[in-house]
Chains A and B, each alone.
Chain A
Amino acid sequence: MPLDTSTYSLALLRVDGRRWNELRRCHAQVRTQAAADGSSFWEMGNTKVMCVLTGPSEPGPKRAGTVTAGGGTTGAGNETAAEVVVNIVVAGFSSVDRRRRGRTDKRTLELSATVARTLAAVLHTHLYPRSAITFSLHVLSHDGSLLAALLNAATLAAVDAGIPMTDYVVACSAGSTSSDAAADTTDGADPLLDLNLQEEQELPSLTVATLGATDRVAALVCESRVPVQRLEGMLAVAADGCKQVRAIVDRVVREAGLKMAKEANSGADAGNVSSMEIDV
């Protein structure tokens, strides 16, 4: 069913009722798996991603479908920094059609390489030599902006595991209302923020991952045709969306930290020990 964009110019509302600069409803959780060192669940609209982090641990044998970044020499573990291993599993039920994707699917491997390289550049892996940090990302539901959801979930899992990093890596997608090049002259091309699957398939789109609150681009993936002069607008809107996503991620982390500190305080108060000062 093709995307109906005829009513956008009338009321400037998208198919799901959002305006051009509004994110979808976002729900995030950390510490969802007690058996893992770090875990998170990220839900942006109907895109649901679960991340399980193991490590830093001794590197195990290589498996098909995993992508390693960071440590230069593969083998018995890097001497200077930890390796970041990413394994992405796209569930067969994640889209409308049931589809089985093998571990060696090139599209999935490319997503794994993107997540691994982005995180390897931001995590302080030099503090864990001869180690491996393993991310397992499971896509439960896919409704657009998949790479952004994967990166946000992996960032939350790394924070939950206590791995030091420079800043949050937050990702967001942006698009344009028209794929027609003539729309530039007639002022008919508006940027859009946080595309869903229908918009992603029909409109020009890109996904940007930035380093925290700065405008430094950690990853940039654009897979559709778009005129050059429109790239700046899409990039600006995506960077602004990343700031909004960072606020969401930071709130989730602070809430989890506050809850943890309260539990520690209630245990400490029973023993009449001085309580901690929470910096919120």
Chain B
Amino acid sequence: MPHDLEPSLNEKAFVGQALQEGLRLDGRGFEDYRPISLSLGEEYGVADVRLGNTRIFAKATAEVTVPYSDRPFDGIFNIVTELSPMASPAFEAGRPSETEVLLSRVLEKTLRRSGALDTESLCLSAGQKCWSVRVDVHVLSHDGNLVDASCLAVVAALRHFRKPETSIESGVLTVYTPAEREPVPLSWLHSPFCVTFSYFGEEAEMALLDGTLLEEQTRVGSCTISLNRHGEICQIAKLGGTPVEAVSLLKSTQVALQKAREFSTIVDKALAGDAKRRDKGGLIAELSAENER
């Protein structure tokens, strides 16, 4: 069974001592993120997120399928995460480890259960036809904090995604190609983002944002808070670990809200840049059908 290389006692002691003195190994402050770069692909629905040395690739696809019998008015929305040995030797292909289960569950709670994507708008014919939206999350490089980077990649991919235009006449569904009609964006309600805190110290008194792989291996507990820009908590997952004071958890939500707003700005800027790039020569303004009188 493959497993990660454990940090040595010297490494653990060094990290602990540095944190006691208020220092991190890469020179960041306790509440700083590594440089985040988000690039959107040539085709719709592709997002590439780099968070320091962590790299996540997300791709959104859609196909027409039959809805579930108990929810005939809703489309289907799935997030598939698979950690391969490309990301880290600790991961084994095909066999879901605990890391993968928890990552998948956090993303599902953050995006699906909070209703970020309006699945009712994916319904084409009640009980017969609906869109099935699927996001594949590929972890290309693992240097800690997979949850935050994955959530950012999935949100960007879904907001960037365009599904084909459709029409229904007399029960016949027609799906138009992008050359025939312009594809339409998804009905997106809000953008939740994950912010993960790592706790250190005997009493878990130090909270760090965006832990690297070494910091994640030496931490005593963690807590992931998902919020959107409007100040709504979508989920909190502190799944065990060393007990933390309740007051510091409440302070963490305020820090997380600030970081979620920064994430939202990053995604908005990337989407605006992509729209500007696709607007070759400024012709979209010329082609506009909605013009002032």
| Known A221-B239, A222-B235: A106·B223 in contact at CB below 8 Å | no
Which of B248-267 touch A at CB < 8 Å? 249-250, 253-254, 257
Instruction: Indicate if the CB atoms of B232 and A218 lie closer than 8 Å.
Output: no
- B98 at interface (Cβ–Cβ under 8 A)? yes
Cα distance A214–B240 in the bound complex, in angstroms: 16
- Which B residues are CB-close (under 8 A) to A225? 114-115, 232-234
Binds B, one of A10-18, A111-119, A132-140, A191-199: A111-119
Binds A, one of B45-53, B100-108, B284-292: B100-108
Number of interface residues of B (CB under 8 A): 41
Q: B231 to A227, Cβ gap below 8 A? A: yes
> A227-B233, A231-B253 known; A218 and B243 CB under 8 Å?
yes
> What are the residues of chain A within 8 A of B98 when measuring CB–CB?
67, 109, 113
Contact check: which of B105, B234, B240, B244 meets A106 at CB < 8 Å?
B105
B104 touches A75 (CB 8 A): no
Determine the distance from Cα of A214 to Cα of B244 in the docked complex, in whole angstroms: 10
Q: Is B144 part of the binding interface, using a Cβ–Cβ cutoff of 8 Å?
A: no
Q: In the assembled complex, which residues on chain B have CB atoms less than 8 Å from the CB atom of A206?
A: 236
Smallest beta-carbon distance A48→chain B, Å: 23
A63-78: contact bitstring with B at CB < 8 Å (1 yes, 0 no)?
Answer: 0000101001111000
B243 CB to closest chain A CB (Å) equals: 4
Q: Mark B77-116, 1 if CB is under 8 A from A, else 0.
A: 0000000000000000000101001101100110001110
Cβ-neighbour of A113 out of B1, B227, B240, B243 (below 8 A):
B240
Instruction: Count how many pairs of residues, one from A and one from B, have CB atoms less than 8 Å apart in the complex.
Output: 118
Do A104 and B96 have beta carbons less than 8 Å apart?
yes
Inter-chain contact B233/A231, CB cutoff 8 Å = yes
* Assembly CA distance A75 to B109 (angstroms): 32
CA distance A75 to B3 in the complex (A): 10
Q: Which residues of B contact A75 (CB under 8 A)?
A: 1, 3
Q: Which residues of B contact A69 (CB under 8 A)?
A: 240
In the complex, what residues of A have CB within 8 A of residue B101's CB?
Answer: 106, 109-110, 113
At the interface, yes or no: A210 with Cβ under 8 Å from chain B? yes
Question: Which residues 98-132 of A have a CB within 8 angstroms of B?
Answer: 104, 106-107, 109-110, 113-122
Cβ contact within 8 Å between A218 and B231:
no
Q: How far is the CB of B113 from chain A (nearest CB, A)?
A: 6
A74 B3 Cβ-Cβ under 8 A? yes
Do B102 and A219 have beta carbons less than 8 Å apart? no
Contact of A181 among B232, B236, B241 (CB under 8 A): B232
Tell me the minimal C-beta distance from B80 to chain A in angstroms. Answer: 12
Known: A120-B240, A221-B238, A222-B235. A239 touches B105 (CB 8 A): no
Residue in B221, B233, B240, B242 whose beta carbon sits within 8 Å of that of A228 in the complex: B233
Inter-chain contacts of A114 with B (CB < 8 A): 239-240
List the A residue with the shortest CB-CB distance to B105.
Answer: A110
Flag if A107 contacts B232 (CB, 8 Å): no
Per the bound structure, the CA–CA distance linking A117 and B247 in Å amounts to 21
Closest A-chain residue to B113, C-beta based? A223
Query: Once the chains bind, are A110 and B239 in contact (CB under 8 Å)?
Result: yes
Chain B's closest residue to A215 (CB) is B246
The 6 closest A-B pairs by CB, nearest first: A117-B240, A216-B243, A118-B240, A222-B236, A220-B238, A114-B239
By a beta-carbon cutoff of 8 Å, the part of chain B in contact with chain A is 1, 3, 6, 96, 98, 101-102, 104-105, 108-109, 113-115, 220-221, 223, 227, 230-247, 249-250, 253-254, 257
